[in-house]
Amino acid sequence: MILAHTEAVGGRIIMEDDENDTRRKNQMKTSIGIAFVVLLIASVASAGQFGPPEPTADTGKFSVGMGYWLDRSEMRVDHDTLTAKSRQLYLQGDYTFIKDWEAYGRLGGASLKLDNDGADFRDRMRGYGTLGLKGVAYRYQNFAVGPFVESSLYRDHKDSIDGNNVKVKDQWDLNLGVSAQYKIPVGSCDLTVYGGPFAYWNRSTLDVTGLASEDAREKNNIGGFLGVKVPIVKQKMFLTAECQFKDKIGTGVSISYTF
């Protein structure tokens, strides 16, 4: 009877272990599926990612990273609409100055293409910089939410169209929003899915030497974003993919390392 009871208990333990393994595998498949969808969107599509509200590094520590961003938007110049496209490469540094709050900066290069009824403006990568602040205002178990703000300044872009020298100068943008995240346990690590609404402003001056100078601004001011942050090496290195939905879709990926 004792052996029979032991065998029954052992059988239940084995069955429970099998069920736990199956549950963990299903969670991992779901998490990988979410990450794949976001990365797929990013492969076919502001100045970088907003990210989840929770800092990458612990309090009093730094993280560093690098990223690629493809920004697409529509700009208004007088009564005309221009389609703008910018490819951006950047380095980023983050510092968690108090619990759950971080300040960050980016330095990189941004190209620019403007299209207006076939009259294309193109320029190579020029320098730009970004400063931002974000953090967690509320947390409950695996859920967290908080605000963010960031602003970027860009160097002037230049091109020649039909013999006229054209310059895009005094370009800057500002983004304000709320980011909500949810952590999905995957083995010993957490996959973070995040997103939220944001408002944005983009200003610049389009100058045609000797002819005209017009202010350019965004066509719309409200958008949304969705992203996923995946641990690559335990809780030290992360891959982040994000989509931003404005009048056009902007997407990008980045990799970061925390000390």
CB 245 within 8 A of CB 224: yes
pLDDT (0 to 100) of residue 63? 97
pLDDT (0 to 100) of residue 194? 98
Q: Which of 17-21, 96-100, 236-240 has the lowest mean pLDDT?
A: 17-21
The count of C-alpha atoms lying within 13 angstroms of the C-alpha of 189, restricted to the half-sphere facing its C-beta, is 15
* Domain containing residue 127: 2-258
**Structurally, how many domains does the chain consist of?**
1
Average pLDDT over residues 63-87: 89
pLDDT (0 to 100) of residue 233? 84
Q: What are the CA-CA distances from residue 202 to residues 84, 120, 151, 164, 188 (Å)?
A: 11, 20, 10, 25, 41
pLDDT (0 to 100) of residue 192? 96
pLDDT (0 to 100) of residue 249? 92
pLDDT in tens, 103-139: 999 999 999 998 876 668 899 999 999 999 999 999 9
DSSP string, 46-88: --S----SS-SSPTT-EEEEEEEEEEEEEEEETTEEEEEEEEE
CATH number at residue 140: 2.40.128
Identify the three-state secondary structure at position 219: coil
